[in-house]
Structures are given as structure tokens and as C-alpha cells.
Amino acid sequence: FGSSRGPPHPPSPARRTARAPPGGWTRTRKRARSTRGQQRVEGMGVFMEGRIKLLGTVYVASWALKGGMPFVSTVLQGAGLAYLGWYAFLLFKTLQAAVVAPVFWGFIGKFVVSRYLTRQEFFRADSPPEDVATKREAGLKRLEESWRARWPKAADLQKYLKKHFSDLRFKASGFESMYPIFQEVVNEALDPITIVQSTEGCEVTDTSGEKFLDASGAYGVNFFGYTRSKEFLAAGQRLAAEVGPCLGPVHPVVAENIEMLLKIFRKEEVSFHMSGTEAVMSAVYQARFHTQRNVTAVFQGAYHGWWDGVMQGAGNDRFAGDCLILKDQCQESLDLLRFRAGDIACVLVNPIQGFGWKNAGTNKLGTPKVDAGASSMEKFKKWLCQVRETCTSTGIPLIFDETWAFHLGPAGAQELYGVDPDLLVLGKSLGGGHACGAVLGPSRLMERRDPKRPMRVNFVVGTFKGNPVVMGSMNAALKFVTSPEAKPVFTGFK
């Protein structure tokens, strides 16, 4: 059951169309070899800077040889002219399909300075009548006083955490939920940091004894609920109590976890990581290593973690010349994948976008838009089948970033949509409450060494890959997912 070609029973017709045809992977490898001459050209993002450098080199060589070797110079000029035409065509197609604006965020960010509204300006930002502005100010003051009176015990700790815990300070700043000029007034009045004392059922109790309904699900980690997740965590603690932090040697539970993962997701190999972001990095590295190309294609609005190699704009100070952001559900994007297959190492998809979620990344300011429903999911399924067929025909590995793990079903997006990726990234709820990540895929893409070139190694390792406490909790979570008890739970989610 470890085969990447599917389960023992015959796949449905929909699955056959979304999967590589017999012999398809052989053609994929041949295509990869045929394009290797133009691979690993640095700076092959939106504007294909690598091609510009190559074109400049040809023309410089032509000019240098003009006096001594006029025939060679003429040939180079002709070749340069033909290549210029090809570059112009590719650039036209790229600008049709790619999202260009995020490329400039890092540059613009160096010149835009902070400017926060004062309280006087805050309530009058839209030039309202003075009596309206006064009512607004009084309303926020009442809310601020009520807020502080309600959580007196947390006030001092909140201030301490904001000063010394940079992660929490950043998330509490409102960076993702409000325009920057409004943040200072709001953050001074309303501190969103919750200091948790305990949890029970679906409730969170803070240090002041106030109870809250947890609607966040711990960023997706708490998919199974607090009660069941505590059981998973306890299983991890029991294993850790037996072996301690024994790293390097692995416990048999690791093999059990691998066996269950391969059976659920129908892949050949697994690698473990400590977060979804790290797992995404590993999957992209593996694709680059085996295709010998350097461009990662992602779709607009998809979030793939904090790695700047796939971050789509605002917040990314790096000019990601090796990340191509394509318009989602757009025919021009599929066309571009075909034309630039020799540049692209992988296509990275976040299948949760099938629920109609837009602007999930930081490439735009403002609130996300959701157009959910059965019609949205069916439309996305057709689109995903087209992406799969395009990747198969061009030899580009398709990666599903399912860091949310089981939110789309016990076997994830490939079961829900009937589309199999080449590489699959898991995280969050997979760890049963612990930090974890995993990459699943076929042996041809998971191998870390080039069998023919001993100096080519993809060095992806990690100290805590077989951490007993994580493996124990993961084992409990996977056993639940594969149990009869879980079926009605997942059916209820649908």
C-alpha cells in the first residue's frame, strides 16, 4: 500500500484523469532531462533576469568579435536577435499570467515611513461631523475602560510579553487585520493578548476566570478539539517517559506512523519536520534538487508559511526572483507553465483555496474574501485537475501544501478532489498537539542524493525528526483518523 500510484482497488474515472497516465513519470523524467540545458539559471522569476544576462553576454561577445571574427559576430547577432524575440514572447506571456505587484513590495517598503494617526485624527479620518467624531471617541473610551476592568490580572503580564516576546507582539499588532495608520490607537486601547489558564471542551479560561469560546482552533492545530487532543498529548508524554529525548535512534512507533501515513495518502516515502513551513521548504528543495530548476510557482492569495522563498509580498523584504506568483484559476497561468516548464521546479498549491478563500497571503492589505459553497469547490476541482494534467505533461512536480492536514478529510485534498500530487506537505493537526511537519512523496523525488553524481546532495536534515514525544502524539492522532470512530466525525464536518 506504499505505492504512489494509488490504492489497491481501481481508482475512479475522476482519479484516473487527475493522475499521471501509465508511463507518465518516465516521460516526466525525459522531459526534465531534455530541458536541463536551460536549468538552474538564477533570477528566473517574473522578469527572467537570467535570460537578460544571457542576452547581454551574447551581444557583448558579438561586439568583441566584430573586428577579428566578423562571421562569428554576425551569427551571434542573429542568435541574439532570435533569443530576444523568444524572451519578449515569454515576458508577454508571463505578464499575462503573473502577479507583478508583489515583486515591488520589498523595494517600496524601504521608502514608506511609519505614520500613525493621533487620537484626534483617528476618529476624524473620514471627515465626519464633529458630534459624530465625539461619539466615536466616547464609545472607544467606554470599551477601553470595560476591557481593562474585565481582565485586571492579565494587564501586567500582557505588557511584559509585548516588550519581550517578539512573536506575540507582532501578531498582536494588527498587521494582518487593520491598516497600519490605525494600529497605534487601537493597540493602546485594546490589548488582544489572552493569557490562558486552562481549557475544557471548546472553552478557554483566562487568568481572570473569564471564559471564551475558542473559534480559532489554535491556527488549525486543535482540529480534533481540546478533549481529544489532550489524549493525544498524553500518549506522547507516556512514550517520552519511557525513552526520554532519545534522538538518532528511533522508536518502533516511528515505523507505525510511516506505515499509517503511506496507507492514508498512498505515497512511497516520508520525511518528518518540525513545522509546516519547514516541510514546505523541504518539499521545494527536493523538487529543485531533482529537476535542477530553481523557480517555484505559487498561486495568488495562497499562504505557504513564513519562508521568504514563497511569501507573496507585503512583509517579504527579499526580492524573490525564484518565486513566480500566478493568477489563480486562470488559463493564462496554465499556458505559462507549459511555455516556461524548463525554468519551473515545482507548482505549489494550497488546496484549502477550493473553499473560496481569497487573499490568504500578505500580498494585499485588507480583509480576506470568502465565496464558499459547493459550486466553488466543484470549480476548484476542475481547475486542480487541469493543473495536474499540465504538470504531468510538462514534467513539473505538483506539491500540495496541506499543512492543515485533516481539515479537508481523513485523506486530505487528494481524496476530496480526486487529484494526486507528486509531493504532499502535512503539519499542524498531524502532530496531535505538538509541532510537526511531514513531506510525503515517491522515492524518485524523496531521495536526498544523486546516485550518479556523489557530490550532489540535498542536505535536508533535522535534530528532532524522530522526537519521541511528537511521534507518540502523532501515533495517537493517526490511529484515531484511521479508526471507525473517526468516520462519523469527518462525515459531520462535510
pLDDT tens column, 435-469: 999 999 999 999 999 988 989 999 888 888 889 99
Amino acid at 97: A
* CA-based nearest residue to 194, from 212, 170, 178, 175: 212
Beta-sheet strands, E only, within 258-359: 269-273, 295-299, 323-326, 344-349, 357-358
Amino acid at 371: D
Cα–Cα distances in angstroms (integers) from residue 207 to residues 162, 230, 433, in the given order: 17, 20, 22
- 306-341: b (≥16 Cβ within 10 Å) or e: ebebbbbbbbbeebbbbbbbbbbbeeebbebbebbb
pLDDT value for 219: 85
Residue 153: CA atoms inside 13 Å, Cβ hemisphere, count? 10
Partner residues linked to 269 by β-bridges: 441
Task: Give the phi and the psi of residue 51 in degrees, each rounded to 5.
Answer: -70, -35
pLDDT value for 190: 85
Report d(CA 144, CA 38) in Å as an integer: 60
pLDDT value for 19: 52
Task: Give the phi and the psi of residue 349 in degrees, each rounded to 5.
Answer: -125, 135
Q: What is the DSSP-derived secondary structure letter of residue 351?
A: G
HEC string of 33-80?
HHCHHHCCCCCCCCCCHHHHHHHHHHHHHHHHCCCCCHHHHHHHHHHH
pLDDT value for 341: 94
Name every residue whose Cβ is closer than 8 Å to that of residue 375 and which is 6 or more positions away in sequence. none
* CA-based nearest residue to 347, from 407, 296, 381: 296
pLDDT value for 4: 36
CB 265 within 8 A of CB 291: no
**Which grid cell is 167?**
512573536
Amino acid at 349: V
Give, in degrees to the nearest 5, the angle at Cα 333 between 415 and 413: 10
Low-confidence ranges of the chain (pLDDT < 70): 1-44, 176, 313-317, 319-320, 356-371, 494
Query: DSSP letters along 187-217, please?
Result: HHH------EEEEETTEEEETTS-EEE--ST
pLDDT value for 445: 96
Cα distance between the two ends of the chain: 26
- CB-CB neighbours of 462 under 10 Å: 15
pLDDT value for 14: 40
pLDDT, one tens digit per residue, over 41-81 is 455 678 888 889 999 999 999 999 988 898 999 999 999 99
Report d(CA 176, CA 123) in Å as an integer: 21
pLDDT value for 319: 64
CB 295 within 8 A of CB 323: yes
